[in-house]
Amino acid sequence: MQTKRLIRIAVFTIIILAVIFFAPKGMVELDSGYKNIMGTFARVLVVAKNQKTAQKAIDAAFDCLERIENLMSVHIARSEVSKINSLADKEPVTVSDDTFAVLEKSIQICRLTDGAFDITIGALIDLWKNAADTNQPPTDDELAKAKSLTGYDKLILNPDDNTVRFSRQGVKIDLGGIAKGYAIDQALETLKNAGALGGLVDLGGNIRCFGTPAGRKEYWLIGLQNPDLKNPDALLMNLKLTDEAVATSGHYHRFYDVQGKRQSHIIDTKTSYGTNKLSSVTIIAKDAITADAFSTAVSVLGKEKGLELIESIADTEAILVSPAPDYEKIFSNNAEKYISDTD
């Protein structure tokens, strides 16, 4: 029997639609092109006073992204997250300031979202990956056991010595819903520190930009992909951003295929199954870590609870798309101000 695996397609749910790189006099622009980082493609765009400064900024940004990947990827055996998952149920594990900061932020968001965002989802992810690999759905007992190993209350952080431990054997964390956002934020700071006058970091469609874009434009123009795969080349809409971040979560490209049935890779820990309440969730925020984590949380919460959550968070907006076949666009109170009429 042919093994069916988790579909991993390098697809950008957010697309840099138009960055007109005709640099104003006295400035240059530089596009890094795409590199493979954190299981997806990364791209950095920079506007600077000269070519040397632009290249220095790009090199620093990629060094930053790679450093964070080496700390937080579950796919790297020597990463700090892998070490946590191997040892934290036996002893406290000391981690770097970066990893500890992401864990603290994760716990805050877990509490705020009542577990709709929860990094202790590792056991459920492993279960559904195995189901896709073997083409056998998990049993009720397996789902119940994996669910019992989730819950942010099982993650214990000690800020006095940057240690992490689990309160129960078998708990695993996965930072896939927040680490990219943190990496983008850190990379953007390196661009500024390296002398960039404007820039954009794109990590798998999670994007943050700053400064005036090249070409004397007033904003960075970014396109959102249409979740209706019957029209894969059609954009949902264009967004105009200046100093914001944007992230989209959706189940239309990444999912677990088990006996012909698709389960979203965004798992609801309360049900143990992939969520299908919305086709896509786009969050616009001041930083990428917020946009990244809350796009996952709102996907799990659904329309009503998700919008209620976003309306309670300052400087954060949401654009939701309902499931097929309607694909209705739903906006938080001030989201439409970011929509551009530019084609």
SS3 106: helix
Q: Which residues contact 327 (CB under 8 A, 6 or more apart)?
A: 226, 227, 228, 279, 321
Return the pLDDT at 261: 85
Residue 252 has pLDDT above 70, yes or no: no
Structural domain includes residue 171: no
Digit-coded pLDDT (tens) for 121-155: 999 999 999 999 999 999 999 999 999 999 999 99
Rounded to whole angstroms, how far apart are CA atoms 174 and 86?
A: 13
Answer yes or no: are the C-beta atoms of 44 and 201 closer than 8 Å: yes
Answer yes or no: are the C-beta atoms of 124 and 275 closer than 8 Å: no
How many C-beta atoms lie closer than 10 Å to residue 154's C-beta? Answer: 18
- Evaluated on CA atoms 62, 63, 65, 66, the torsion sign reads positive
Same domain, 188 and 311: yes
Same domain, 227 and 183: yes
Answer yes or no: are the C-beta atoms of 229 and 314 closer than 8 Å: no
Digit-coded pLDDT (tens) for 162-181: 999 999 999 999 999 999 99
Return the pLDDT at 19: 41
Same domain, 126 and 265: no
Mean predicted confidence (pLDDT) in 231-248: 89
Return the pLDDT at 304: 97
Q: Which two three-digit tokens encode residue 270?
A: 């309360």
Question: What's the CATH code of the domain at 106?
Answer: 1.10.3980.10
Same domain, 128 and 162: yes
Kindly indicate the confidence band of residue 250, based on its pLDDT and cuts at 50, 70 and 90.
confident
Q: Give the residue from 166, 194, 214 where a domain finishes.
A: 166
Rounded to whole angstroms, how far apart are CA atoms 48 and 267?
A: 41
* Among 6, 51, 53, 59, CA closest to 35: 59
Which amino acid appears at position 278 of this protein?
Answer: L
Same domain, 68 and 154: no
Same domain, 155 and 211: no
Number of domains forming the structure of the chain: 2
Digit-coded pLDDT (tens) for 59-91: 999 999 999 999 999 999 999 999 999 999 999
Q: Give the residue from 103, 138, 166 where a domain finishes.
A: 166
194 DSSP assignment: T
- pTM greater than 0.85: yes
Residue 2 has pLDDT above 80, yes or no: no
Same domain, 211 and 283: yes
Rounded to whole angstroms, how far apart are CA atoms 338 and 259?
A: 41
72-86, 103-117, 120-134, 208-222: the lowest-pLDDT one:
208-222
For 3, 182, 226, the CA distances from 342, given in Å and listed in that order, are: 45, 30, 16
Mean predicted confidence (pLDDT) in 48-57: 96
Query: What range defines the domain where residue 283 resides?
Result: 14-72+178-340
Answer yes or no: are the C-beta atoms of 295 and 326 closer than 8 Å: no
Q: Which two three-digit tokens encode residue 333?
A: 């109170």
Same domain, 162 and 292: no
Structural domain includes residue 43: yes
